[in-house]
Amino acid sequence: MLQVRGKYQLAESAQFHIAIAKMNEQGFVRIIDAETLTLIVEANTDAFSYSDVIPSLPTELLFHNRCRFIPDLAEWTWPTLQPKSKILAWLETRWTVVLASLILIPAFMWIMTTKVLPAAADAAVPLLPEVVAEKTGQQTLAVMDRTLLQPSQLTTEEQIKVNQLWQQVLKTTNAPLVNTELQFRDSAIGANAMALPDGTVIVTDDIVKLMEKHPDALQAVLLHEIGHVHYQHGMEQLARSTAITMLFALMLGDIEGAGEMIIGAGASLLQSSFSRDMETQADKYAHHMLPKLGLSKQTFAKALTLLAESHGDLLSKGNAKAHHWLEYLDSHPDIKKRISDSSNANTH
Amino acid sequence: MTTLDSAFPNTRIAQAEFTGQSGEFFKIWIVNLLLSILTLGIYSAWAKVRTNQYLHGHTKLEDHGFRYLSTPLQILKGRLLAVSVFILITVLSSFTPMLALGMSLLILVATPWLIMQSIRFNMRMTSYRNVRFSFKGNYWETVLNFLLLPMLALFFTLGIALPWVHQRIDKYIFDNLSVGGQPFKLNTDVGQYYVAALVAIAIMMAGIITIVIFAGIYGVMIAQAGEDSAEQLLTGTFMGLIVLLYLGLFILNFVAIAVSRGIVLKHIISTLKVEDVATFKTDMPLSGYIKLQLLNSLILILSLGLAYPVTKIRTRRFVAQHIQVELTEQADTLVNDVQGKDPAFGEEAAGFFDADLSFT
């Protein structure tokens, strides 16, 4: 017979007795008033359950009639308490487990966000109905038109010229691309081109002017953008970031304050690394397709050099536009590496 | 006070205490975080319950610990429902701009409800000596206090009325709490809220004036120095000075927040009562509170947020150490008046939409 002092708290009431609990190996328990030594209650194991075992807190007897017995000793162990109910508390008190957590938490997050989730999200993209890509593309363009982009200042002749280049490029791409459409916009972001999830490709006035004398370079840029469309990068990006947001919301529902912020910052860093992979893939697509247009593979390197020079000018002028270039650096692979990659592609 | 003493001659003073340990809670927190992540968030419901059980259980008055009564499955159900709603809203609003607008309106309308549900749930899931707490605030009063008044104060009084709104919010929360059918009463004085705000502003102003004076002295130094040495001064020391000043402002900002919070917290504790049951008192030194908050911020920054559980324990211990409760005999005969298992949806959704508030 084991016994422990504690408090017997009456059901739904602030009243309690200072009491002694005596329990035998079978879990038969007697609660005795510590002052009067009279029996308050006696019960079998089927009349009570145990509270959760929490480090440094006593494990209470929870009687089914809502009375409780709270031992005075936090380390007190009831004879019939299942060892498995102590597992969590055991884990929660080991420094070795803490050390393992410090390694496993970032490692697991890393693998989930860089390998598992992107793969799962990419696999889900073909399953999404066409309308999702369409709506998202339209939505993105609508938002950009209100913020980054202005109507194009190009003359109709200039636009027709570029459209002819675009049609040539489209003919060489073997897969018939649905809904691919070229759009002209003026923008403060400078010479640039972008592909939207629904297949819309946007070229800025600056890039058209920059490559006026180098139509082949513009075609290489267009091929790069078609590469994004071909691989459905827009939708993949969307699916990936949605998946990651959801995972983080789920896993970290409980993390408050600074922890949330730091882990969140990690997530956005990872997202820029996705987009770097996608840029490399689109670069390769352009390399692969250029010969079909009758152009040398080096054309892409030429386009990149032109772009780098144009943005370099902005950078040296200390222009406000330089800020965008820094962002561009973040989401795109190192420009020098891209140029050398595309030059090498030629020699192989 | 005197009326209380005469009406209830048999009162006693109890010292609140918090017996949790930083290292111990850190271990619990990080292991629960690991399990939550490995189970893709499912375990987080268990994590929430276990950490709350630890914090409640170690918060004691007269050797009786508080209890956290929610169960993991209850939390999990609420959390899954909240996540579903969150996903639905995210997906729907990424489709059409009109719908997105409608959704933000919906969230705005839902926010007061979520705040209310969150307080209600947390109170009803807390008990002391088998008697649960409860909150009886309603939707429209929450809209008024949490949404309408702050907006009006901001736009029409340029924030001058904000301390008054702050006082009303605290009063609204506490006056709607009860335990065993005995209502809480908060008798705050709006003056203290203005004192807190003014002290914070004064600290920031003093800081800015000091910086301006420094900058002025520096400017004179450059003007008087020869051309060569002026250039030297400009490049080297100037940058250092700017960094130093920014750092100073940053720290000052923390000090200002800690001071105003400390003033308000002391005032709340010392004017709080549970009718016929308890009168709260505090001997909290303001300087101690400021030191605590500044150190907490420092270790949070240095540990990249990892010390969050440590700061939580430190704050709880400090505040508990400085709360005394004068209890009447009626405290020993309270009877629980809260029944049933409440759905956790409101509390969980509040967490997702950042509508939950943490007040100690």
Residue among B37, B97, B300 whose CB faces A108 most closely: B37
Rounded to an integer, the average pLDDT of B250-274 is 94
pLDDT for A283 equals 87
Residue among A13, A56, A256 whose CB faces B336 most closely: A13
Taking the Cβ of residue B53 and every Cβ of chain A, the question of whether any pair is shorter than 8 Å is answered with yes
pLDDT for A262 equals 52
Give the integer Cα–Cα distance in Å for B78 and B343: 7
Taking the Cβ of residue B124 and every Cβ of chain A, the question of whether any pair is shorter than 8 Å is answered with no
Identify whether the C-beta of residue B348 lies closer than 8 Å to the C-beta of residue B75: yes
pLDDT for A321 equals 37
Chain A residue numbers with beta carbons less than 8 Å from the beta carbon of B301 are 258
pLDDT for B10 equals 84
Across the A:B interface, residue pairs with CB atoms under 8 Å apart total: 155
> Is B94 within 8 Å of A136 when comparing Cβ atoms?
yes
Residue A163 domain flag = yes
Taking the Cβ of residue B358 and every Cβ of chain A, the question of whether any pair is shorter than 8 Å is answered with yes
Identify whether the C-beta of residue A244 lies closer than 8 Å to the C-beta of residue A238: no
> Is B308 within 8 Å of A258 when comparing Cβ atoms?
yes
> Is A259 within 8 Å of B334 when comparing Cβ atoms?
no
The least confident of A151-160, A165-174, B192-201, B344-353 is: B344-353
**What's the gap in Å between the CA of B37 and the closest CA on chain A?**
5
- First-residue to last-residue Cα distance in chain A: 85
As beta bridge partners, residue A185 has: A151, A204
Q: How does DSSP classify residue A129? A: -
Q: How confident is the model at residue B237 (pLDDT cuts 50, 70, 90)?
A: low
> Is B300 within 8 Å of A258 when comparing Cβ atoms?
yes
pLDDT for B276 equals 93
Specify the number of domains making up chain A: 2
Chain B residue numbers with beta carbons less than 8 Å from the beta carbon of A146 are none
The least confident of A116-125, A253-262, B104-113, B190-199 is: A253-262
Task: Cite the beta strand spans of A159-213 per DSSP E.
Answer: 181-187, 193-195, 200-204
> Is B336 within 8 Å of A242 when comparing Cβ atoms?
no
Last residue within a domain, chosen from A91, A121, A136: A91
Residue A104 domain flag = no
Note whether A164 and A236 are same-domain residues.
yes
> Is A91 within 8 Å of B86 when comparing Cβ atoms?
no
Note whether A57 and A116 are same-domain residues.
no
pLDDT for B266 equals 96
Give the integer Cα–Cα distance in Å for A114 and B246: 37
Residue A105 domain flag = no
Note whether A192 and A290 are same-domain residues.
yes
Q: How far is CA B189 from the centre of its chain?
A: 20
Give yes or no for residue B92 having a pLDDT over 70: yes
pLDDT for A310 equals 81
Taking the Cβ of residue B152 and every Cβ of chain A, the question of whether any pair is shorter than 8 Å is answered with no
Q: How does DSSP classify residue B233? A: I
Q: How confident is the model at residue B128 (pLDDT cuts 50, 70, 90)?
A: very high
- Residue ranges in chain B assigned as alpha helix (H): 2-7, 22-38, 44-57, 72-95, 97-124, 139-143, 149-156, 162-175, 190-224, 227-232, 238-270, 286-302, 308-321, 345-352
CATH of the domain at A45: 2.30.29
Amino acid symbol at B290: I
Residue A77 domain flag = yes
Note whether A62 and A175 are same-domain residues.
no
Identify whether the C-beta of residue A125 lies closer than 8 Å to the C-beta of residue A235: yes
Residue among A98, A254, A258 whose CB faces B27 most closely: A98
B228 conformational bin, left if phi > 0, alpha if psi -120 to 50, beta if neither:
alpha
Rounded to an integer, the average pLDDT of B347-354 is 73
The least confident of A71-80, A190-199, B140-149, B155-164 is: A190-199
Note whether A330 and A240 are same-domain residues.
yes
pLDDT for B13 equals 95
Taking the Cβ of residue B331 and every Cβ of chain A, the question of whether any pair is shorter than 8 Å is answered with yes
Residue A100 domain flag = no
Give yes or no for residue B189 having a pLDDT over 90: yes
- Give the tokens for residue A86: 């102590």
pLDDT for A334 equals 64
Note whether A188 and A226 are same-domain residues.
yes
Average pLDDT for runs of 10 along chain A of length 348? 94 95 93 94 94 95 95 92 92 95 89 85 84 80 84 92 89 68 88 86 91 90 88 82 72 52 55 72 87 85 84 50 40 66 54
> Is A250 within 8 Å of B332 when comparing Cβ atoms?
no
Note whether A81 and A119 are same-domain residues.
no
Whole-prediction pTM = 0.80
Mean pLDDT of chain B: 87
Residue A128 domain flag = yes
pLDDT for A197 equals 81
Residue A98 domain flag = no
Q: Which of B21, B22, B34 to mutate to test the interface with A (most CBs of A within 10 A)?
A: B34
**What's the gap in Å between the CA of A91 and the closest CA on chain B?**
7
Residue among B27, B301, B333 whose CB faces A14 most closely: B333
**Interacting residues of B179 by C-beta distance below 8 A, sequence separation 6+:** B128, B131, B132, B133, B134, B274, B277, B334
User: Is A8 strand, coil or helix?
Assistant: strand
> Is B83 within 8 Å of A88 when comparing Cβ atoms?
no
Note whether A36 and A125 are same-domain residues.
no
Residue among A7, A14, A70 whose CB faces B331 most closely: A14
Note whether A250 and A168 are same-domain residues.
yes
At B267-278, the pLDDT tens digits run: 999 999 999 999
> Is B27 within 8 Å of A95 when comparing Cβ atoms?
yes
> Is A98 within 8 Å of B57 when comparing Cβ atoms?
no
Residue among B83, B95, B300 whose CB faces A249 most closely: B83
Note whether A86 and A119 are same-domain residues.
no
**Interacting residues of B149 by C-beta distance below 8 A, sequence separation 6+:** B161, B165, B168
> Is A14 within 8 Å of B334 when comparing Cβ atoms?
yes
Note whether A280 and A156 are same-domain residues.
yes
Identify whether the C-beta of residue A244 lies closer than 8 Å to the C-beta of residue A229: no
Q: How does DSSP classify residue A13? A: B
Give the integer Cα–Cα distance in Å for B101 and B104: 5
A23 conformational bin, left if phi > 0, alpha if psi -120 to 50, beta if neither:
beta
> Is B44 within 8 Å of A249 when comparing Cβ atoms?
no
Q: How does DSSP classify residue B329? A: G
State the residue range of the domain holding A126: 110-347
pLDDT for A268 equals 59
Give yes or no for residue B164 having a pLDDT over 50: yes
Give the residue with greater pLDDT, B36 vs B66: B66
Note whether A79 and A154 are same-domain residues.
no
> Is B37 within 8 Å of A109 when comparing Cβ atoms?
yes
User: Is B115 strand, coil or helix?
Assistant: helix
Q: Provide, rounded to the nearest whole percent, the portion of chain B with pLDDT above 70.
A: 89
pLDDT for B17 equals 96
B126 conformational bin, left if phi > 0, alpha if psi -120 to 50, beta if neither:
beta
**What's the gap in Å between the CA of A217 and the closest CA on chain B?**
35
pLDDT for B106 equals 85
**What's the gap in Å between the CA of B189 and the closest CA on chain A?**
30
**What's the gap in Å between the CA of A144 and the closest CA on chain B?**
13
Give yes or no for residue B99 having a pLDDT over 50: yes
**For strand B272-274 and strand A181-187, is the pairing parallel, antiparallel, or unpaired?**
unpaired
Residue A45 domain flag = yes
> Is B37 within 8 Å of A55 when comparing Cβ atoms?
no
Give the residue with greater pLDDT, A273 vs B281: B281
